[in-house]
Amino acid sequence: MPKRVAYTAKIEFIQILDENGRFDAALAEGGLADEQAVALLEHLILCRHYDEIAFKLQRSGRMGTYPQNKGQEAIAATALAVTRDDWMVPCYRENPALFLHGLPMEHILLHWMGDERGNQIPEGVNVMPISIPIGTHMLHAAGIAWAQRLRQTGNVALTYFGDGATSEGDFHEAMNFATVMRAPCVFLCQNNQWAISVPREKQMASETVAQKGLAYGAECVQVDGNDVYAVYHATKAAVDRARADGTVTLIECLTYRLGDHTTADDARRYRDPKELEAWTKRDPILRLRTHLTAKGLWDDAKEAAAQDAAKERVARVVKNAEGIAKPSTDDIFDYTFATLPDGLRAQKESMRTHSLALEPGQETLRRAEAQHA
């Protein structure tokens, strides 16, 4: 019997604005409008400043560990490709997208300052809490998408994760479920080349992340993740497909973590400075700024205004976040179950006395009372 080819596939790479400023107008057609691009640049500048201030807050002891987003801001463009009712299911390195989708900027600071209330998402903002266990949230995204399908909301779920996260079984199970169930889900991998100190090629032997979706029958595409136009283009197509008929897409955004893994890391110990230098030139903000300037849509005055506005806004956000009173010990009991069981009520009461520096057994109180009597 002659051999035949059982399966072939190819992965497309999409780039609209390259690092040398070349712009593919044909591919950009119907994509980001000029005023959207300008507003996006202002947002990226704001997010970069926010990131720098967050880093400084950690260094000066005003915040816990923080994972910088620097270099990956183009992910914000995904938020322009969805409606406010679509769901974002994040890990921890996509602040620019979450903010654009309506998450107040205070929340991310609060979270990393070690306050659960950072994850108390305001009503009407369809963003899920940050997820620390790598990969587990992708299954939630598949479930959220399935719920949209059953409820016929017409909404789509977008989930974000890193290159390293694709090594977890949960990634594969989530892709499989979503495609088999035709759950309207878009999988967005920010391949920033590193998972802490592990480079992509030690993480996986496959040439691209995108091709991993082929095995599950998903649409798969790789984009220049530092090109807001390409990120928007691919996400818009994926979201539209998901909304139309539940087609699942895996988008691999090729990008780079310009900062350390978190403030607890020092990437200089394991990364080649030349690599960092090369990627610094591909900075998404730099690229968009150069492009819009060439088009006459951006200039020094606009830049100065954007920088000033960013400083002013971030200062206000920090002030708000730091100004929030410490959480009450009641919180830890009130939010463990939907209604407070009796056992916990008793613990809550004893914690109250403890937090007033009185021992839970109240022995000294009782003794004092006895003496008094």
Partner 1 sequence: MPATAAATDTRTITFREALREAMVGEMRRDERVFLIGEEVAQYNGAYKVSQGMLDEFGPKRIIDTPISESGFSGLALGAAMCGLRPIVEFMSWSFSLVAADQILNNAPKMLYMSGGQWGAPVVFRGNDGAGGQLGSTHSWCVEALYSNVPGLKMAIPSNPADAKGLLTTAIRDDDPVFFLESERMLSDTGPVPEGDYTVPFGAAALRREGTDCTLVSFGRPVNFCLEACDALEADGITCDLLDMRTIRPLDAESIVESLKKTNRIVVVDQSWPFASIASEVIAQVCERAFDWLDAAPRRVNTDDVPTPYAKNLEAAYLPNADKIVAAVRSLLGR
Ligand X SMILES: Cc1ncc(C[n+]2csc(CCOP(=O)(O)OP(=O)(O)O)c2C)c(N)n1
Of the candidate spans 20-28, 48-56, 126-134, 214-222, the one that interacts with partner 1 by CB under 8 A turns out to be 126-134
Say if residue 124 is exposed, middle or buried (CB neighbours under 10 Å; 0-12, 13-18, 19+): exposed
Q: Spell out, one character per residue from 209 to 248, where the chain touches ligand X: x when CB under 6 A holds, - when not.
A: ----------------------------------------
213 binds Mg ion (CB under 5 A): no
Nearest residue to 50 (alpha-carbon basis) of 61, 37, 63: 63
> Annotated catalytic, 345?
no
297 binds, among partner 1, Mg ion, ligand X, none (CB under 5 to 8 A by kind): none
Q: Spell out, one character per residue from 160 to 189, where the chain touches ligand X: x when CB under 6 A holds, - when not.
A: -xxxxx------------------------
Quick one: 179 or 191, whose CB is closer to Mg ion? 191
Secondary structure (DSSP) of 165-217: GGGSHHHHHHHHHHHHHT--EEEEEEE-SEETTEEHHHH-SSS-SGGGGGGGT
132 binds ligand X (CB under 6 A): yes
From the list 101, 261, 289, 291, the catalytic residue is 261
- 236 Cβ contact list (under 8 Å, min separation 6): 31, 81
CB atoms within 10 A of CB 18: 16
**Whole-number Å distance between alpha carbons of 302 and 121:** 32
Residue 109, token pair as written in the block? 């600071």
Please tell me whether residue 253 adopts helix, strand or coil conformation: strand
Q: What secondary structure letter does DSSP report for 162?
A: E
CB of 169 to partner 1, least distance (A): 5
2 binds ligand X (CB under 6 A): no
Distances (CA, A) of 128 to 7, 73, 137: 37, 19, 9
CB of 139 to ligand X, least distance (A): 13
Q: Crossing angle for the helix pair 169-181 and 136-151, nearest 10 degrees?
A: 10
Identity of the residue numbered 272: D
**Whole-number Å distance between alpha carbons of 285 and 341:** 51
Instruction: Among 195, 230, 288, 306, indicate the residue that binds partner 1 (CB under 8 A).
Output: 195
63 backbone φψ class: left, alpha, beta (φ>0; ψ -120 to 50): beta
327 binds partner 1 (CB under 8 A): yes
147 binds, among partner 1, Mg ion, ligand X, none (CB under 5 to 8 A by kind): none
121 binds partner 1 (CB under 8 A): no
Residue matched to tokens 């909404």: 155
CB of 28 to partner 1, least distance (A): 35
Please tell me whether residue 297 adopts helix, strand or coil conformation: coil
CB atoms within 10 A of CB 372: 6
Quick one: 87 or 161, whose CB is closer to ligand X? 161
259 binds, among partner 1, Mg ion, ligand X, none (CB under 5 to 8 A by kind): none
**Whole-number Å distance between alpha carbons of 199 and 203:** 6
Q: Spell out, one character per residue from 240 to 279, where the chain touches partner 1: x when CB under 8 A holds, - when not.
A: -----------------------------xx---------
CB of 209 to ligand X, least distance (A): 10
From the list 257, 282, 287, 289, the catalytic residue is 257
> Annotated catalytic, 261?
yes
Of the candidate spans 23-31, 87-95, 148-156, 328-336, the one that interacts with partner 1 by CB under 8 A turns out to be 328-336
Q: What is the CA radius of gyration of the chain?
A: 24
347 binds partner 1 (CB under 8 A): yes
360 binds, among partner 1, Mg ion, ligand X, none (CB under 5 to 8 A by kind): partner 1
Residues that bind ligand X (CB under 6 A): 93, 132-134, 161-165, 192, 194-196, 257, 261
Where does this chain bind Mg ion (CB under 5 A)?
A: 162-163, 192, 195
Residues with a catalytic annotation lie at 257, 261, 270
List of residues contacting partner 1 (CB under 8 A)? 64, 114-116, 132-136, 164-165, 167-170, 195-198, 202-204, 269-270, 326-327, 329, 331-333, 336, 343-344, 347, 351, 354-355, 359-361, 363
